[in-house]
Structure 1
Amino acid sequence: MSSTAVTTAMKLELPPLSLYIHIPWCVQKCPYCDFNSHGQNGELPQEAYVDALLEDLRQDLHLVQGRQIHTIFIGGGTPSLFDALQIKRILDGANSLIPFSDNIEITMEANPGTLEHDDFSAYRAAGVTRLSIGVQSFSKDKLNLLGRIHDQNEAQVAAQKASQAGYLSFNLDLMHGLPNQSFAEAMADIDTAAALNPPHLSWYQLTIEPNTLFHSKPPQLPDDEALWHIYEQGQQKLAALGYEQYEISAYAKPGYQCRHNLNYWQFGDYLGIGCGAHGKVTLPKENRIIRTVKIKHPKGYLSASNYTFESIEVAEEDRALEYLMNRLRLMTPIPKQEFELRTGQHRDTLTEGMEKAKQRGLLTESAEHWQLTSKGHMFVNDLLTQFC
């Protein structure tokens, strides 16, 4: 981290605490997916896995440090492969170990092809307040290319049922830049999604990740010019439809931002339980920030007595860059005081890099904030190089 002479270090403050719960099974592995997910092979060990999750959480209780849980995200894999009774066991068990805030946000991922739609109300009764539905596209051709098990009609029915089941909010996941996708097809997906009136949309470009089928057998993707046209026009369309972009790939109606993801990007703390789950925890009394990684494979996880595979210290000299790598995803100004409280570093640590970024037109500065310009949002990775 390049810097000018730095004044005294600041005191770390305990940030808000979230909980991430990983359920690793899917009906089948999608060719673009690099998450820790495993194709379902026979009946799932739902009860045994929930028992392991709760024991995993018990072993992390020393990291709570007197806080409540403000948000929970149940991700995967496909959590909706677990029935509502087991989701309720997870949430009730977690609440018995750590108090929940009064207005807690509890999100669960669901895929249209794995839901009996009458169960939406059951998940809501189990305690889930928000659904994130993995639609990806409303095109039959594109869904087939992506290896999705649902069709366009199931995707629309899932969104309609989520809207009717009393959830406080729901999200639709959409991808663009799909194999052989035209501009018209990408815009049609946005129009179809918006007609279902989700309070939140995740709209992000398909990327080819290592260790995926698409990486070994790459599909034909739109060229860079076509991708930029889709992105630029898609942003304008979403804004015209009343969706505010608050994060690089997240758009919400006013008041419906995902609080769980906001805590991630603001360098908050989160416990991660389940196969391969990651966590990040601040320890102010020890002036430390650590990241935890749990056992990755389901078989090993289910037979474990200690679920933490690795605990990694975030070195003091790396905290500022790690904070920025998260915080720069958001569209809002960066409070200088937040930087100090979340990293234990004085704001002057960033002076040299911020000056270089200002000279290149990537950000502006006030007494209390840094703010990315439109150009800065387009070149975030370039901006981060100023702090390496």
Structure 2
Amino acid sequence: MPNLPPLSLYLHIPWCVQKCPYCDFNSHALKGEVPHQDYVDHLLADLSHDLPLTSGRAGNTLFIGCGAHGKLTQPDGTVLRTVKTRHPRGYMQGNYLAKRYPVAPADLPFEYFMNRFRLLEAAPRAEFIAFTGLAETTVRPALDQALAVGYISESDSHWQVTDKGKLFLNSLLELFM
């Protein structure tokens, strides 16, 4: 057998707040409690079934992820953005993470709305404050612009992307940059 590199394994955590319209991962909108043990039991069964297919090759890397987003919120509220290596050679050399840096407070509104508005469901206004630590007044000018052009609607409790906002989602998100 040729001298093949070690195997790597990517485990996808398949439960999301809502399935993104563009996602092609085997993922599911969360309904109720996450079935942790059932997932682990099925995962171990799958791995046991596939083990003979490895031809004795060792594995040296385990990736655990939940989609395309390279963002992690730390216990202290700091949001870290990660950037992966883009060239396959980097992965073969074990350089999977190109860089990691904290998201600047000024960028938190964009990060929040990018994640919230792409779900196309109502975004609770109180959640913005809880997730970013910022007052709604920091984004009021952008919200007013989005309302004026018809990208969103607003109630006392939430913001909702309109049909026009769905068509111009990038333009809507640019208002928060």
Q: TM-score, normalised by structure 2?
A: 0.60
CA distance in 1, matches of 2:138, 2:115: 17
Per-residue CA deviations over 1:322-378 (Å, capped at 9, x if unaligned) read 221232222211112222233222233222211222222222111110012212212
**Cα drift, residue 43 of structure 1:** 8.2
1:70 CA displacement: 5.3
- Give 2:75's match in structure 1, choosing from 284, 291, 303: 284
TM-score under structure 1 normalisation? 0.30
Q: Which structure has more RCO (C-alpha within 8 Å, separation ≥ 6)?
A: 1
After TM superposition, give the deviation of residue 317 of structure 1 in Å.
Answer: 0.3
Q: Distance in 2 between matches of 1:347 and 1:373?
A: 20
Any residues of structure 2 matched to 1:258-269 within 5 Å, and which? none
Relative distance call for 1:44 and 1:334 in structure 2 (3 A) is farther
Q: Distance in 1 between matches of 2:173 and 2:70?
A: 23
Cα deviation for residue 280 of structure 1 reads 1.3
Q: Is the 8 A contact 2:72 2:81 kept in 1?
A: yes
Q: Which position in structure 1 is the counterpart of 2:175?
A: 386
Larger Rg, first or second structure (1 or 2): 1
> What amino acid does structure 1 have at the position aligned with 2:7?
Y
Query: 138, 154, 157: which is aligned to 1:349?
Result: 138
The alignment partner of 2:160 has SS state of: strand
Q: Does 1:293 align with 2:83?
A: yes
Partner residue, 1:327: 116
Distance 1:302 1:387, change over 3 A: closer
CA distance 1:103–1:340, change in 2 (3 Å): farther
Query: 1:70·1:101 contact (CA, 8 Å) conserved in 2?
Result: no
Which residue of 347, 364, 377 maps to 2:153? 364
Q: Is the 8 A contact 2:90 2:96 kept in 1?
A: no
Matched, 1:101 2:59: no
Quote the Cα distance in structure 1 between the aligned partners of 2:38 and 2:45.
16
Task: Specify whether residues 104 and 370 from structure 1 end up closer, same or farther in structure 2 by C-alpha distance, changes over 3 A only.
Answer: farther
Task: Quote the Cα distance in structure 1 between the aligned partners of 2:69 and 2:166.
Answer: 27
Q: 1:363 to 1:278 in 2, by over 3 A?
A: closer
Equivalent residues in 2 for 1:106-125, closer than 5 Å = 125=45
For residue 49 of structure 1, the aligned residue among 2, 7, 20 is: 7
Identity %: 39
Q: Distance in 1 between matches of 2:37 and 2:126?
A: 27
Cα distance in 2 for partners of 1:340, 1:309 equals 31
Q: What is the 5 A alignment of 1:29-108?
A: 45=5, 48-50=6-8, 71=14, 101-102=36-37, 104=39
Structure 1: runs of 5+ lacking an equivalent: 1-41, 58-68, 73-99, 106-121, 128-271
Q: Which residue of 1 aligns with 2:102?
A: 313
Q: Distance in 2 between matches of 1:338 and 1:381?
A: 21
Verify the 8 A CA contact 2:13 2:64 in the aligned structure 1. Answer: no
Q: 1:293 to 1:380 in 2, by over 3 A?
A: closer
